[in-house]
Structure 1
Amino acid sequence: MTSSKKPATSSTRRKRTSPGSRNFSMSEPTSLKDQIRVIKRDGSIEPFAIAKMLNCIRNGLAATGDSCGLDMSAAGGLAEAVFEYLTSSFRRSPVPSRHIAELVELVLSQTGHGTASLAIREHTASRELRRRRLMVASARPSDGRIVQHRWSKSLLVRHLRRQHHLDVPIARMIAGRVEQLLFNCGLRVVTSGLIREMARSELLAWGLAPGALVVKRVRPSDRCGRVRDLEN
């Protein structure tokens, strides 16, 4: 008696391993994901974040007005293609963040999204230009003279980790939000005090500063002219 089952063809095998063949999500638990390490531009090393790469792809698609930019599964399939390559090529050694960006651009170009690939490249170049142009003014401890130095997000990350004991991903997230606020100001020179206040505001907003979740109220008073409640 011969078996009625047919051997899997190469096309069937390709279908099983296709990047878009399974449901992909930003929070997908993958042991290999935890093994991948990324070397940032400032030399620091952090765990690979699928969510960050997926968000980059979706933003690139949306920036071009492509309808796929609103399709989570389309962006997820492209992100998974890059992710599977990374897991097979960089399990034992860290991968430069620049290389990941190049892979994302390559995948977009080869799947008919060349305009989105160009949009991501231009966005990255624009941020790098802003970083080079932004200067930070601070008082020199030795004589109090105001000096300027180039903005560095990595310095703020180290400050947040040292002073507020934040993990690297959280510190980078807060520093990234502060950086975007600085860019939105449109200023070429900012003070170190402004940066500290922006960082403090972000920490308070995310509940990461002491007393951030404490709501203070003024007790009702019978005296005229006294505020009865801060919420009113």
Structure 2
Amino acid sequence: MHRIDTPTAQKDKFGQGKNGFTNGDPATGRRATDLNSDMWDAVQEEVCTVIEAAGIPLSKGEHTQLHAAIDRLIAEQVKTRLEKNQNGADIPDKSLFVRNIGALPANGTAVAANRLASRGALPALTGATRGSDSGLIMGEVYNNGYPTQYGNILRLTGTGDGEILIGWSGVNGAPAPAYIRSHRDNAEAEWSEWAMLYTTLNPPPDSHPVGAAIAWPSDATPAGYALMQGQTFDQSAYPLLAVAYPSGV
């Protein structure tokens, strides 16, 4: 396309370098703008190209084809576009869309994400109460009914339920306990008691106090233990036993 550039065009009619047309002025001798084939060929092809691009055959007797072509081209483009008032409801594959933008689904599941967002403070479930959301969710423990004051809770809800509580200490660098519990696949069932997970920094308490009698199904005495049959013992070799039996017998 181009603007009229014949010698009789009105120079700069629409701004610098933007020529236009004039009807001429007999009083001043100004000629009307001459039209040439270049100008009309350009106009013709600009219009016809739009009509043909819309798949509409040119028809000499119709004078609304350009309008129809523009409508059709816009309608075809709209089919592949999202409408603002749908707020994403017209996205064909919502799960893929969420993965592509690296976000979490609004329902909180982690199917399409590389991280699990926290639900914030989750009050501890009690009695036969189960989690309302199926799947895996994470929440925060902060003086809200759990066996330790601070931590994070992973809740697995399916046919049955389970929870893992990873505590954190209120002291810098200090270890904290971890717990697990479960709920069977029965609406009337209650949660099990919390079971503490023992580690090298959080060992279990002694099952047998020093000096207690232990039934042992073997004649071989394990390391760190002694066979006692009412005899005296070396208090320096067994100082903890000496605390329980200061007489040395």
TM-score range, shorter chain: under 0.3
* Larger-gyration structure (1/2): 2
Q: Which has the higher contact order (CA 8 A, sep 6+)?
A: 1
User: What's the TM-score once normalised by structure 1's chain length?
Assistant: 0.22
User: What's the TM-score once normalised by structure 2's chain length?
Assistant: 0.21
The structure with the greater share of residues assigned to helix is 1
The structure with the greater share of residues assigned to strand is 2
